[in-house]
Amino acid sequence: METLYLKYRPKKFGDLIWQDHVKRLFANAISSGEISHSYLFSGPRGTGKTSTARILAKSLNCEKPIDGYEPCNECESCKVIDSGKSMDVVEMDAASNRGIDEIRAIRDRVAYLPIESKYKVYIIDEVHMLTKEAFNALLKTLEEPPKHTIFILATTEIQKVPDTVVSRCQVVEFRRIPVEFIKDHLVKICKMENMKFETEALEHIAKKSMGALRDAIGLLEEIARFSAGNVTLKDTLFVLGEVPIETVEEYVSSLSSGNAESLLRLMETIEENGIDPMNFAQETLEFVTSKLPDPVIAKIGKFVSDLIQRLKFEEKQFDTFKVLSVFEALNDKGEILPERSVLKVPKAEKAVSVKTDVDRLIDWYAKEGDMSVFACLAMSIVKDFGDRILVISKIPLHHELLKEKSKTIEMDFKRITSRDVKFVSAYSEIPIENIEPEIRESLVRTLSISGGKLLKEGGGEIV
């Protein structure tokens, strides 16, 4: 039995979901004959990169293209490429063929004319997995490929592809597919497969796929087989190891009322039923977020919820409860947000409020910028040393995110304040205000120069 993903895999540009910019790009390029000889498809997994590469290969070699760019899928060339038997369309998975020998073999073959097609097309998936030597071997070929050869590189992690390779390719960005579009596509598949379904179940599947249509179709097939073709929300939650909303509501209620007995019983139920703690944490965050009256805080909560799912989706290890501490910080002492800046103007007889450059930066992020940066800055200690801005985070995740985005923050700061500064991120598990006054200032200045982590007493590094 053919799997649903392969059965409903896009066969022409018009079948691609959401990637309208990609359709338009290739429709114009193919119709006008202005084809690049090296493409780099970048984006999350399951969004259509490899499928588009195959469609492009068919379109370029189609004997009777529709509207000048769509493959007909009926000619011999299209059928051979679809079957994976074309001698002129070569697919290689760089995850398992990452060495210099494989790239040299391609380099030696590109000089030969296509056997049965107009173009030779080389599709290298997960190209970021190639070794440094393999990339070097590929460079010259990418720079000056023969006219009859097209290279299509695909990656989920473009930051790992050397700049020298990126500069030789036309980069095409693929985007995560919105939940509504994935859900609508799942509805069509269910109807064509004569499956019974609950709309809430398909929406939940779409949400859990995090913008990856391939993953959504895979989940649908798994749940449909489990439920004998009747896709219900109850079965969906069970297969995904998630908890019913009633349990989440009871958990939040018990937590807010301090009912330890109820909490203990709920934790035992979750453990006995094999529910994924990360899924439970995300469902709880989403529920709490939906009840928050302040739209800004709700937006932060949504960001944290999405972050949990995305980190799980990308199989990265982290401490869920450190992420959940965002809500603990937001509600600390009943305040909506912690103090935004340690730089204050002394109060006169009449209160005077003067915004510092740091305040202006954080205000901009709150209104127009990256909400993840705003959340991290708002819950950290920020000091302005003139030529550098120091941010001391209490949560490791905040420190890592700010460190990763430091260059972007520096550019935003310059644009807003007209000042050139170096942005330095540091992390301290020990609250700065709890450190002895006589060493606090020198410690903070040291952190402002080098950043890094404040070690526990005894020298053990915080992880």
Residues 329 and 372 in one domain: no
* Residue 188, in any domain of the structure: yes
Tokens, residue 325: 């501490």
**255 and 225 belong to one structural domain:** no
Q: Cβ distance 282 to 308 under 8 Å?
A: yes
pLDDT tens-digit map of 262-281: 877 887 877 777 777 777 77
Question: From CA 231, how far away is CA 201, in angstroms rounded?
Answer: 7
Of 389, 362, 378, the C-alpha closest to 448 is: 389
Same domain, 136 and 216: no
pLDDT given for residue 186 in this prediction = 96
The Cα–Cα gap between 278 and 299 comes to 20
Question: Do 92 and 164 fall into the same domain?
Answer: yes
Please report whether residue 294 resides in a domain: yes
Provide the domain limits for residue 386: 357-454
Residue type for position 458: G
For residue 461, is it within any domain? no
Q: Are residues 230 and 379 in the same domain?
A: no
The answer to whether residue 352 is domain-embedded is: no
Q: Output the pLDDT for position 73.
A: 94
- In Å, how far from its chain's centre is CA 111? 38
How would you classify the pairing of strands 388-393 and 381-384?
antiparallel
Instruction: Mark whether 165 and 16 lie in a shared domain.
Output: yes
In a domain, 428, yes or no: yes
**Residue ranges for the chain with pLDDT beneath 50:** 313-353, 458-463
Q: What are the tokens at 78?
A: 């299209």
CATH of the domain at 86: 3.40.50.300
Residues 160 and 262 in one domain: no
Structural domain count, the chain: 4
Q: Is residue 339 part of a domain?
A: no
Nearest to 301 by CA among 314, 311, 287, 315: 287
* Same-domain status, 127 and 52: yes
Contacts of 336 (CB under 8 A, 6+ apart): 294, 297, 330
CA distances from 408 to 173, 372, 381 (A): 20, 13, 19
Asked whether residue 342 is assigned to any structural domain, the reply reads no
Residue where a domain terminates, one of 124, 156, 173: 173
Beta-carbon contacts of residue 289 (< 8 Å; ≥ 6 apart): 298, 301, 302, 305
Residue 190 and residue 285 in one domain: no
- Count CB neighbours of 312 within 10 A: 19
Helix axes 49-61, 20-32, angle to 10 degrees: 20
Q: Are residues 143 and 184 in the same domain?
A: no
Last residue of a domain, one of 220, 239, 258: 239
Q: What is the dihedral of CA 221, 222, 223, 228, to 10 degrees?
A: 80
Measured between alpha carbons, how far is 242 from 261 in angstroms, rounded to an integer?
22
User: Is 24 in the same domain as 105?
Assistant: yes
Residue found under tokens 């007995």: 261
**Cβ atoms of 369 and 378 closer than 8 Å:** no
**Cα separation values, 265 from 20, 156, 441, Å:** 50, 42, 48
pLDDT at position 251:
80
Residue 46: left (phi > 0), alpha (psi -120 to 50), or beta? left
Identify whether residues 329 and 368 lie together within a single domain: no
Listed residues 125, 152, 173: the one ending a domain:
173
Map residue 17 onto helix, strand or coil: coil
Report the CATH number that the domain containing residue 186 is assigned in CATH. 1.10.8.60
Round to whole Å and give the CA distance between 380 and 340: 8
The answer for residues whose C-beta is within 8 angstroms of residue 93's C-beta and 6 or more apart is 125, 126
197 in any annotated domain:
yes
pLDDT in tens, 35-88: 999 999 999 999 999 999 999 999 999 999 999 999 999 999 999 999 989 999
Strand 89-93 versus strand 381-384 pairing type: unpaired
Closest CA to 407 of 425, 423, 387, 385: 423
Sign of CA dihedral 203, 209, 211, 217: negative
Bridge partners of 154? 41
Query: Where residue 436 sits, what CATH number does that domain have?
Result: 3.30.300.180
pLDDT at position 349, please?
45
Predicted pLDDT at 300: 54
Q: How far apart are CA 204 and CA 183, in angstroms?
A: 9
Distance between CA atoms of residues 297 and 375, nearest Å = 9
